[in-house]
Amino acid sequence: MLLIRFMLVMAPVVLLINGYTKGDWWEAALFALSVAVGLTPEMLPMIVTSTLARGAVKLSKQKVIVKHLDAIQNFGAMDILCTDKTGTLTQDKIVLENHTDVSGKVCERVLHAAWLNSHYQTGLKNLLDTAVLEGVELDAARGLAERWQKVDEIPFDFERRRMSVVVKEDDAAHQLICKGALQEILNVSTQVRYNGDIVPLDDTMLRRIRRVTDTLNRQGLRVVAVATKYLPAREGDYQRADESDLILKVTSPSSIRRKRPPPRR
């Protein structure tokens, strides 16, 4: 408001001074009008900044800390604001709730495949990888690391939303273990292990998977899929094209799921 008042004062002052010195009041009026028009856009950033600063002062009186003035404008444009303080509603920790096959039966092989994938990846391990690594007992983890050796890795990227590691047992065939978002794993899988048998991943099986997945998602659970594929031992690097014709081992029916534990009381 102070800057606006300054503009309202300056225009008449310019009019009086220019008209009194030159004697041409019509020209003085046009010049004063041009000064007023020129001052308005020049002072607009200052007006906006001063207004936001004034809002920050008012919010500070209500015990609100404002670190960025632009946030006040965004805050004023909101209709609904949802917030969560870590430790109040969540603990910022993901836990491995279960590990089963597609039929819903607990399957240690599924957990071991997920553990090998998380253990041998060289990228930044997220909270999900940490939960998987913590889900295997120490003795079992040592046994897996001694039994399986890493051959290669296909790193994670946000386009594929999955990552793979290739491991081998002694001089046997290589095994590609792919872990990632359910839909992305389904896109590269053609078969599924169901009740101990390898069956085609047809439309009936897909509908069953999606139906259960939707139910789990409504419960706030995150489903992660693991698929494997045996390949002949070879030299050289593995590529994205090798992530095809996989056998889905775990998916939505009570699969590897992650959720945030309830807060401590």
Q: Which residues contact 244 (CB under 8 A, 6 or more apart)?
A: 188, 190
Clarify whether 84 is annotated catalytic.
Answer: yes
Cα–Cα distance measured from residue 181 to residue 186, given in angstroms and rounded to the nearest whole number = 9
Helix (H) or strand (E) holding 179: strand 174-181
Residue 154 tokens, joined: 């296909």
Q: d(Cα 116, Cα 165) in Å, to the nearest integer?
A: 8
- 1, 51 Cβ separation under 8 angstroms: no
Q: Left if phi > 0, otherwise alpha if psi is -120 to 50, otherwise beta: which for 18? A: alpha
The secondary element (H helix, E strand) that includes residue 200 is strand 197-200
For 102, half-sphere exposure in the C-beta direction (CA atoms, 13 angstrom radius) is: 26
Q: Which residue among the candidates 24, 79, 84, 152 is catalytic per the annotation? A: 84
Query: Of the candidates 144, 114, 135, 248, which has an alpha carbon nearest to the alpha carbon of residue 194?
Result: 248
Active site members: 84
